[in-house]
Amino acid sequence: MSRPEGSDAPAGALWQRAAAFAARLHTGQVRKDHRTPYVSHPFRVAMTVRHLFEHADDATICAAILHDTIEDTPADFDDIEKQFGPLVAEIVAALSKNMLLREDSREPEYDRRLSEADWRARLVKLADAYDNLCDIGYRSDGGPETVARHLARCERAISLAEPDAAAHPETARAIGLLREAMSMISPSEA
């Protein structure tokens, strides 16, 4: 495998380096169940992109593994770009909410950036929504409000990605799988 374009990192399996980088940065973080290591989430998101959505390019798999690093760890865009190249960094940045913004402006700004980003960022967002939806049963903060919030996030992810579906069959597949998962969950079940 060659060195990622624009990266100072040595050649090697890019996804393996991304996994090690994410595991190091997410050390000590746990999921909402207060037990599961947080890094299991980005790993599952990457596996969802690769195996369920059937999309295998290295940059997308790496971005899936790293999708929460800018938002939830000390890593920044420059760290990601240096290690994994500009495309991975741009996808991860598009998937990162600007926590400096007030909450009422954060989501609209996030949706705007995501809608303008490379289509693969929206594919990773669909995988992120899918994994979070599948994870609801293991969370300690469950309840109808949590389920309804996750279903609404899934709908937002779908609406952002729908324009990509005609050109990218993996996006159409992802939307179908996410809709199927959503149909199995109702807000009153939690």
Q: Does the pLDDT at position 1 exceed 50?
A: no
Active site residue 72: yes
State the Cα–Cα distance between residues 90 and 87, nearest whole angstrom: 5
pTM, two decimal places = 0.90
pLDDT higher than threshold 60 for residue 128: yes
SS3 content of the chain, % helix, strand, coil (to 5): 65, 0, 30
Q: How far apart (Å, rounded) are the C-alpha atoms in residues 186 and 174?
A: 20
Give pLDDT, residue 190: 45
DSSP string, 41-79: HHHHHHHIIIIIS----HHHHHHHHHTTHHHHSS--HHH
∠135-163-149 over CA atoms, to 5°?
30
Active-site annotation holder among 72, 118, 135, 155:
72
What CA–CA distance (Å, rounded) separates 48 from 125? Answer: 11
Q: Which of 8, 33, 54, 71 is catalytic?
A: 71
Residue 60 near residue 31, CB atoms below 8 Å: no
* Cβ count near 112 (within 10 Å): 11
In this structure, which CATH number among 1.10.40.30, 1.10.3210.10, 3.20.20.370, 3.40.50.10860 belongs to the domain 14-189?
1.10.3210.10
pLDDT for the residue numbered 138: 60
How is the chain split into domains, by residue range?
A: 14-189
Let me know if 54 is a catalytic residue.
no
pLDDT of residue 136: 82
Instruction: Say if residue 12's pLDDT is above 80.
Output: no
- For 34-58, write each residue's pLDDT tens digit: 899 999 999 999 999 999 999 999 9
Whole-angstrom distance, CA of residue 187 vs CA of residue 25: 33
Instruction: Give the mean model confidence (pLDDT) for residues 153-160.
Output: 98
